[in-house]
Amino acid sequence: MSNSLRRYLITRVLMTIPMVLILVTVIFFIMRVLPGDPIRSQLGPRVSEEQADALRERLGLNRPLIVQYFDFIGDMVTFNFGTALTQGERPIKDELGERLPATIELTIPAITITAIIGIFSGAYAAKNRKKPIDYIIRLLSIILSSIPIFFMGLLFQIAFSVRIPIFPLSGRMDTLLMTTFESPTNFYVLDAILTQNWPALGSALGHLIMPSVTLGLALSGVFVRLTRVNMIEMLQADFITAGRARGIAENRLVYKHALRNTFIPILTMLGLQFAILLAGAVLTETTFSLPGVGRYLVERIQLRDYTAVQSTIAVFAMFVAGISLIMDILYAFVDPRIRY
């Protein structure tokens, strides 16, 4: 590893620390400014002041705000998020450990579908600029971007679960299989493969198809337009003109040379969209009844559960920081100029 690359990577790693700290700090104080009382959300509006004060003292909510803040930062560093205020004594890490795999299993195939459809459709549209297929692809990309995710999901459910029962309507796995299926990691697809439980694998994949396609199609329109614009500019570059003069095949110029040189903005958008999907898949999870982190976050916000909300946001922040770091590392390998 060269000194420039090592210096670049160290700088990027150090920059992620204040980014995460600023985000979780803002969330910590915002949650305490908003109206509402998590104690009364848990005990009910008719609870006496003595009972509320006793629970508030047991949970540490009567301590000075700055003390609560530093306790939270210390817990976050050790990945010990404590217990949710409205979930009894169950640790938050157990809640997130059950729900985060569902969100990740939805996000990975969704972003893959987004990238494949968006990048190659955009490149094909740029190659055939101002031809009928170019206008058709651009029109479809606008339509896909305009349809709300939940509405597209409902259309898929009506078409492929109700009218033509091809795919499951909701959930992560068939109920009968769930009674005997053991998933130590809560990644159903991975655990089914490791245990060679092929019926469970088929059911888990079947339940992922519609929500993944819904989420992937909804986001692909952005990548179609982004790829097309950058590809049109790249296809007019001097090295592409020189390649055509040398007789290099057009498909090779388009899909190997030109497309590779447009990957910087595409990788940037992929990283941002992946982070957004992790944090914002709540509409898809709600439509298809997937027990993911998005639904969990909304439920905890409604109950004013300080601990659960700030811990979930902290996990999201770590994911965003990690994905941004990975994208920066990929940039350095795709375009060596970035290292300097």
With respect to residue 73, please indicate whether it lies within any of the assigned structural domains.
yes
Per-residue pLDDT band for 324 (boundaries 50, 70, 90) equals confident
Q: What is the number of structural domains in the chain?
A: 2
Per-residue pLDDT band for 303 (boundaries 50, 70, 90) equals confident
pLDDT at 177: 86
Same domain, 27 and 113: no
Same domain, 64 and 117: no
With respect to residue 325, please indicate whether it lies within any of the assigned structural domains.
no
Average pLDDT over residues 257-283: 73
pLDDT at 81: 75
With respect to residue 328, please indicate whether it lies within any of the assigned structural domains.
no
Same domain, 134 and 271: yes
Same domain, 73 and 138: no
pLDDT at 338: 57
Same domain, 196 and 246: yes
Helix, strand or coil for residue 11? helix
Same domain, 158 and 72: no
Same domain, 226 and 136: yes
With respect to residue 309, please indicate whether it lies within any of the assigned structural domains.
no
Percent of residues, the chain, with pLDDT higher than 70: 87
Helix, strand or coil for residue 83? strand
- Between these two residues, 300 and 1, which has the higher pLDDT value? 300
Average pLDDT, the chain: 81
Position 3 pLDDT exceeds 90: no
Same domain, 113 and 50: no
| Contact yes or no for 217/117 (Cβ under 8 A) | yes
With respect to residue 280, please indicate whether it lies within any of the assigned structural domains.
yes
Same domain, 180 and 288: yes
Same domain, 152 and 230: yes
For 218-241, write each residue's pLDDT tens digit. 888 888 988 888 888 888 888 888
Q: Which two tokens stand for residue 54?
A: 């006793």
Going by C-beta distance under 8 Å and a sequence separation of 6 or more, which residues neighbour residue 299? Answer: none
Position 109 pLDDT exceeds 60: yes
Going by C-beta distance under 8 Å and a sequence separation of 6 or more, which residues neighbour residue 267? Answer: 327, 330, 331, 334
Average pLDDT over residues 173-195: 87
Q: What is the pTM of this model?
A: 0.78
| Domain extent at residue 254 | 96-302
With respect to residue 307, please indicate whether it lies within any of the assigned structural domains.
no
- Between these two residues, 41 and 211, which has the higher pLDDT value? 211
Same domain, 143 and 29: no
Position 95 pLDDT exceeds 90: no
What does each C-alpha distance from 231 to 85, 171, 218, 226, 228 come to in angstroms?
51, 40, 22, 9, 5
Task: Specify the CATH number for the domain of residue 267.
Answer: 1.10.3720.10
* Sign of the torsion formed by the C-alpha atoms of 235, 240, 242 and 246: negative
In this structure, of 60-64, 131-135, 336-340, the range with the lowest mean pLDDT score is 336-340
Cα torsion through 83, 89, 90, 91, rounded to 10: 30
